[in-house]
């Protein structure tokens, strides 16, 4: 099977495959978050998390000791998806733990024994 019999040689096939883009072109641009938005705002996309939303989420997690994000989504009247609730909890948990550990670092040690 050479080029003389009308078939495509392997090198031409490889050359054509290599010249094609790896992904199809997209008609729509990927939305970019505003420079002013924080990571928490980017997570919620359509609507921001209010203090009331955070309290509902925290109350659910602390009461149940096990997060059921679909229930939280319903409690928030589908203002935030279950996935966003999970991501928000991760963000709040990090903030709470960082705040707690930094307060331990600045607290003077008590009952120090000076021997």
Q: Is the pLDDT of residue 73 over 70?
A: yes
| Of 14, 80, 78, 20, residue with least CA distance to 46 | 80
Best CA proximity match to 49, nearest among 81, 16, 4: 81
Query: Which pLDDT band holds residue 24 (cuts at 50, 70, 90)?
Result: very low
Both tokens of 25, joined, read 């072109």
Find all residues with CB under 8 Å of 44, minimum gap 6, and list them.
80, 84, 88
- In whole angstroms, what is the distance from residue 3 CA to residue 5 CA? 6
- Please give the helix or strand (H or E) that residue 57 lies within, else none: helix 51-64
Mean pLDDT of the chain: 72
Q: What is the pLDDT of residues 4-23, one digit of tens each?
A: 555 555 555 455 555 544 44
Domains of the chain by residue range: 41-105
pTM: 0.50
């Amino acid at each position: 099977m050479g080029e003389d019999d009308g078939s495509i040689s392997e090198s031409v096939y490889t050359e054509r495959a290599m010249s094609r883009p790896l992904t199809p072109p997209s008609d729509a641009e990927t939305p970019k978050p505003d420079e002013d938005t924080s990571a928490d705002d980017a997570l919620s996309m359509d609507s921001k998390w209010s203090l009331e939303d955070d309290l509902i989420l925290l109350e659910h997690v602390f009461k149940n000791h096990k997060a059921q994000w679909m229930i939280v989504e319903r409690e928030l009247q589908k203002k935030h998806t279950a996935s966003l609730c999970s991501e928000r909890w991760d963000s709040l948990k990090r903030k709470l733990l960082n705040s707690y550990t930094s307060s331990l670092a600045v607290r003077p040690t008590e009952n120090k024994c000076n021997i």
